[in-house]
């Protein structure tokens, strides 16, 4: 069966994640590479929105797949590979957020400023739309100020538009629990954005 | 505003409300300015959050991942590998256990006391490092005993490093014994009683196991005689000695 899975993974471009995982489990690294190519963008996007830093997001993405490779034998076939790797990513992001919290406020500000300047992709030119950029920065700041668990669900639901079922699988909770977390996170975001919202209202 | 209504307004602002409930919320928003303001806030915050720029293109390559995995020494092995490893480990452990248990153990009585003591002292000395070497006692002869006692009675520089322990031993009710060097049958003058002697005693004691390893030579009894094997080589003397008891009236010697 593993040999068949291996052949499938080698030959067909449309090989399923499960076939690739089976092949990777039996020692075929190229199958794992294909899994990486398939899902790295998803992981990277999520990590980027969590950290707002390209370097950190890349590091997290790589670490996620290293851990996935390391723990491939623990993967259950009934789960989705994306869900599983995103769960790893979520944990890594949480760990990183905890580490960041430990830094002093000054260090954090400095690091955030320099990293933003160096790594954040500026899709909107400040010359073209200064106001929009300012708003985006305020939103980013507000999002960054949110606790990690709030940020995670907001990115999953309101940025990546994932279903509540999938979010619940990633977070390891019930669908109702996922809905509740999203609701709380939205409330928290609104509270953080209150100054900007007031300004916009005026 | 009640919690339930707020939840519905949030769901409506994020486009998650069921179509049949939408009409009721629209109605509520149009009637209540508070509800309208709340709806506007959530709507805007959803828009602002959704308008955040996309992530820039990453520079993630499979080669980088491969290198990272290799640098950590991770390699995916088949599942049976772990099981085989466990079995092999258990087999090796069992073999070693059998080897150890079947090998005749070397007891202290089989080994000359001097040799055992020397090995023990050297090993302990290496382990402790700072403790000075204790003279190697070649055998349970009177000369050896005297020499050992004399040497031990001299103060050692490193032995003075443990004055606290010396104090504790000084206050001990029973005299400390220096392994086989001070036998139970030996005269009391052989037991170090001076300060230096106690320090030396402590040094010997700190080596440990000397008392356990070295057998105590028997006290001389007028009825007992040790017969030394004749024709022993001059370099190292005899290897065998037999203890014999002679009946009364038998004279030995010239």
Assign 3-class secondary structure to A48-115.
Answer: HHHHCCHHHHHHHHHHHHHHHHHCHHHCCCCCCHHHHHHHHHHHHHHHHHHHHHHCCHHHHHHHHHHH
Q: In this complex, which of B52, B69, B79 lies closest to A140 when CB atoms are compared?
A: B52
* Cβ contacts from A onto B, under 8 A: 114
Q: What are the tens digits of pLDDT across the range A89-119?
A: 999 998 888 877 776 555 655 555 555 555 5
Lowest mean pLDDT among A63-67, A182-186, B201-205: B201-205
Q: What are the tens digits of pLDDT across the range A108-148?
A: 555 555 555 555 554 555 555 687 788 888 888 888 889 99
Query: What is the model's pLDDT at position B14?
Result: 93
Query: What is the model's pLDDT at position B103?
Result: 72
Rounded to whole angstroms, the Cα distance separating B238 from A42 reads: 86
Report whether B19 contacts B52 (CB < 8 A): no
Q: In this complex, which of B49, B56, B78 lies closest to A54 when CB atoms are compared?
A: B56
Residue B240 has which token pair?
Answer: 């065998």
Residue scoring higher pLDDT (A131 or A192): A192
CB spacing of B76 vs A45 below 8 angstroms: no
Nearest to A79 by CA among A200, A140, A168: A168
* Residue ranges, chain B, pLDDT below 50: 107-211
Nearest to A133 by CA among A124, A146, A141, A121: A124
**Beta bridge partners of residue B227, listed in sequence order:** B242
- CA of A102 to nearest chain B CA: how many angstroms apart? 26
Count the helix, strand and coil residues of chain A and give each as a percent rounded to the nearest 5: 80, 0, 20
Summary mean pLDDT of chain A: 81
Report whether A140 contacts A42 (CB < 8 A): no
Q: What are the tens digits of pLDDT across the range B186-240?
A: 444 433 344 444 444 444 444 444 445 555 555 555 556 666 666 666 666 666 6
Rounded to whole angstroms, the Cα distance separating B188 from B153 reads: 14
Rounded to whole angstroms, the Cα distance separating A117 from B203 reads: 68
- CA of B90 to nearest chain A CA: how many angstroms apart? 23
What sign does the dihedral A73-A78-A81-A87 (CA atoms) show?
Answer: negative
Nearest CA in chain B to A135: B48
CB spacing of B62 vs A66 below 8 angstroms: no
Rounded to whole angstroms, the Cα distance separating A146 from A52 reads: 13
Q: What are the tens digits of pLDDT across the range A159-172?
A: 889 999 999 999 99
Rounded to whole angstroms, the Cα distance separating B165 from B154 reads: 18
Q: B-side interface with A, Cβ within 8 Å?
A: 7, 10, 14, 40-42, 44-46, 48-60, 62, 64-66, 68-69, 72, 74, 76-79
Enter the pTM of the model.
0.52
Report whether B49 contacts A156 (CB < 8 A): no
- CA of A25 to nearest chain B CA: how many angstroms apart? 7
Beta-carbon contacts of A152 under 8 Å, excluding residues fewer than 6 positions away, are A50, A90, A93, A94, A171
Beta-carbon contacts of A89 under 8 Å, excluding residues fewer than 6 positions away, are A43, A46, A47, A60, A61, A64
Nearest CA in chain B to A190: B45
Q: What are the tens digits of pLDDT across the range A5-29?
A: 544 544 453 358 888 888 888 888 8
């Amino acid at each position: 069966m593993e040999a068949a899975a291996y052949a499938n993974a080698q030959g067909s471009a449309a090989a399923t994640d499960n076939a690739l995982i089976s092949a990777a489990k039996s020692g075929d690294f190229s199958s794992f590479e294909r899994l990486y190519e398939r899902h790295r963008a998803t992981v990277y996007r999520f990590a980027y929105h969590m950290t707002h830093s390209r370097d950190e997001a890349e590091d997290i993405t790589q670490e996620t797949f290293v851990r996935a490779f390391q723990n491939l034998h623990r993967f259950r076939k009934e789960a989705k590979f994306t869900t599983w790797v995103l769960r790893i990513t979520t944990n890594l992001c949480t760990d990183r957020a905890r580490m960041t919290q430990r830094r002093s406020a000054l260090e954090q500000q400095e690091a955030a400023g320099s990293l933003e300047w160096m790594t954040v992709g500026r899709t909107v030119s400040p010359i073209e739309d200064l106001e929009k950029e300012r708003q985006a920065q305020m939103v980013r700041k507000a999002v960054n100020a949110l606790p990690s668990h709030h940020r995670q669900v907001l990115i999953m639901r309101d940025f990546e538009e994932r279903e509540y079922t999938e979010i619940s699988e990633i977070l390891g909770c019930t669908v109702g629990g996922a809905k509740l977390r999203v609701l709380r996170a939205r409330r928290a975001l609104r509270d953080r954005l209150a100054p900007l919202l007031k300004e916009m209202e005026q | 505003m009640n919690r339930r209504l707020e939840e519905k307004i949030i769901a409506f602002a994020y486009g998650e409300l069921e179509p049949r409930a939408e009409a009721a919320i629209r109605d509520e928003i149009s009637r209540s300015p508070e509800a309208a303001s709340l709806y506007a806030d959530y709507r805007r915050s959803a828009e602002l959050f959704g308008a955040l720029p996309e992530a820039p293109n990453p520079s993630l390559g499979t080669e980088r991942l491969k290198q990272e995995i290799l640098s950590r020494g991770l390699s995916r092995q088949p599942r049976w590998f772990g099981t085989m490893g466990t079995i092999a480990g258990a087999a090796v452990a069992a073999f070693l256990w059998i080897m150890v248990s079947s090998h005749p153990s070397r007891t202290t009585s089989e080994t000359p006391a001097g040799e055992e003591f020397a090995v023990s002292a050297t090993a302990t000395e290496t382990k402790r490092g700072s403790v000075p070497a204790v003279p190697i006692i070649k055998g349970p002869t009177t000369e050896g005993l005297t020499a050992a006692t004399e040497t031990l009675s001299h103060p050692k520089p490193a032995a003075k490093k443990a004055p606290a322990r010396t104090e504790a031993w000084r206050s001990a009710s029973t005299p400390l014994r220096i392994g086989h060097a001070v036998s139970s049958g030996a005269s009391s003058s052989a037991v170090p009683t001076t300060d230096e002697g106690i320090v030396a005693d402590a040094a010997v004691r700190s080596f440990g196991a000397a008392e356990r390893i070295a057998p105590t030579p028997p006290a001389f009894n007028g009825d007992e005689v040790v017969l030394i094997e004749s024709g022993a080589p001059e370099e190292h003397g005899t290897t065998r000695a037999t203890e014999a008891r002679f009946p009364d009236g038998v004279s030995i010697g010239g």
